[in-house]
Each structure stands twice: as C-alpha cells, then as structure tokens.
C-alpha cells in the first residue's frame, strides 16, 4: 500500500485528488509545513517537515513524499505520474508518446506557470492585493502568465484535455497549477478554454472529495 506524507493544504492536494480518482487505498501520514508553526522544534510541536522522523524519509524537508515499500519518491508531479502508472486505465498514459506528453506538460506547467500563479496567490493570502506594492506585483505576474496561459488556452480549444483527448493525470497536474491563478478575480476567465476546462475538472466528484478534506484541515 502507498503511504503519502503531507497535508491536503499543500501540493499533496494533487496526489490526494488522483488517489480519489482511482479510489485507491493508501496510508496518510499528516506532516505539516514547519513554516506554519510558531516553533516547529518545540517538544509538543506536531509532526512537521523539520521533525527528525520526517527528515529521515525526506532529507529535503518538504512535502509531499510517497513511499511504496522501500521505494521513496518526492516531488508531487513525479509522484502523480508514478501513481497513475500504478493505477493504470484511462487516467494513465496509454503508450510512450503519451508518457512523454504528460511529462512535457507537467514540466511546462511547473516552469512557465506555477511560480507566477503562486506569487499572485500569496499576495492575496497575505492581504496585500489592494496595496500599491501588491497591485504592482500582481500586474507583473499577470503579464508573465499571459503567454503560457494563451498557449494552454489554444491547446485546450483544440484538444479539450491535456493529453489523449480524455481526462488524465495530466489534467490533474495542470489544473492544480492553474488553480493558484484563480486567486486573482477574472484572470482565468480571460482564457475561455482554460476556464471551461478548469471548471469541468473541479466538477469531478474526486476533486470535490479532496477539496472537502482540504477545507476540513486547519488553515
């Protein structure tokens, strides 16, 4: 059985979503991010990314982490590709070409979209969106997202999904990246194909189940 270390309020959300899609049994070891704690090294601190027990699994001290027997894997996108191949079926790549395309889109999302979308989300989360500095940061990051979101919009207009004309792990990976950009009202709506595709992804029962568990966790 797979073991997932992490919390729903982290990039592990994409892993929990995929596991819900498969209805796959797994063990969950909650590991909170150390930066969310006043003193992660305190004697009564919850199990966190600086806890020695977790560092023995993940020397990088970052969630999520997957264990499958003696095999240990970090990086949530790589973990999802592993889970998909283990689960098989329509969510997984059908052949080597689909595998390559899924890896291509995961890397594109990570390098061209995620950091800028996250920056926007953090401005809103920190309550800076209406400040001059926050507005300037959002404007700059929105500009940096213009080209990659247009590329994604064009692809989705033509294909409907990321790979293979069907819902796959590639859609989960990209949807969880683009979701961060939703923090800025109206931004995703500027790209109609992206907005429609993302709404369809979020309408899936597995996403809703994952999201309910995420909302149940302490913020």
- List the domain range (segments joined by +) for residue 139: 93-207
Is 219 a member of any domain? Answer: no
Are 24 and 37 in the same domain?
yes
**Domains: count for the chain:** 2
Confidence label for 219 from pLDDT (cuts 50, 70 and 90): confident
Give the confidence band of 32 by pLDDT, cuts at 50, 70, 90. Answer: very high
What pTM does this model have? 0.96
159 with 101: CB under 8 angstroms? no
CATH number of the domain enclosing 67? 3.40.30.10
pLDDT digits (tens, 9 = 90+) for 136-170: 999 999 999 999 999 999 999 999 999 999 999 99
| CA dist., res. 75 & res. 62, Å (int) | 9
* Confidence at residue 166, expressed as pLDDT on a 0 to 100 scale: 98
Q: Which residues pair with 68 in a beta bridge?
A: 71
3-state secondary structure of 4: strand
Contacts of 70 (CB under 8 A, 6+ apart): none
What is the rounded average pLDDT for all residues in the chain? 97
Q: Cα dihedral sign for 47, 106, 181, 23?
A: negative
pLDDT digits (tens, 9 = 90+) for 173-209: 999 999 999 999 999 999 999 999 999 999 999 999 9
217 located within any domain: no
Under the phi-then-psi rule, with left for phi > 0, alpha for psi from -120 to 50, and beta for the rest, what region is 33?
A: beta
């Amino acid at each position: 059985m797979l073991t997932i270390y992490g919390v729903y309020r982290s990039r592990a959300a994409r892993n929990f979503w995929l596991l819900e899609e498969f209805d796959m049994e797994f063990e969950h070891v909650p590991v909170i991010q150390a930066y969310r704690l006043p003193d992660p090294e305190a004697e009564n601190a919850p199990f966190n990314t600086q806890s020695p027990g977790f560092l023995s699994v993940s020397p990088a001290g970052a969630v999520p982490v997957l264990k499958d027997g003696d095999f240990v894997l970090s990086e949530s996108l790589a973990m999802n590709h592993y889970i998909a191949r283990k689960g098989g079926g329509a969510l997984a790549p059908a052949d080597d070409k689909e595998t390559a395309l899924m890896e291509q889109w995961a890397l594109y999302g990570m390098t061209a979209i995620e950091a800028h979308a996250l920056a926007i989300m953090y401005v809103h989360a920190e309550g800076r969106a209406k400040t001059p500095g926050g507005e300037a940061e959002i404007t700059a990051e929105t500009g940096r997202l213009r080209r990659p979101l247009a590329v994604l919009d064009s692809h989705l207009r033509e294909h409907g999904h990321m790979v293979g004309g069907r819902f796959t792990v590639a859609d989960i990976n990209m949807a969880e990246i683009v979701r961060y950009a939703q923090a800025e009202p109206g931004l995703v709506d500027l790209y109609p194909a992206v907005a429609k595709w993302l709404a369809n992804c979020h309408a899936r029962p597995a996403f809703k189940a994952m999201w309910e568990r995420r909302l149940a966790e302490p913020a």
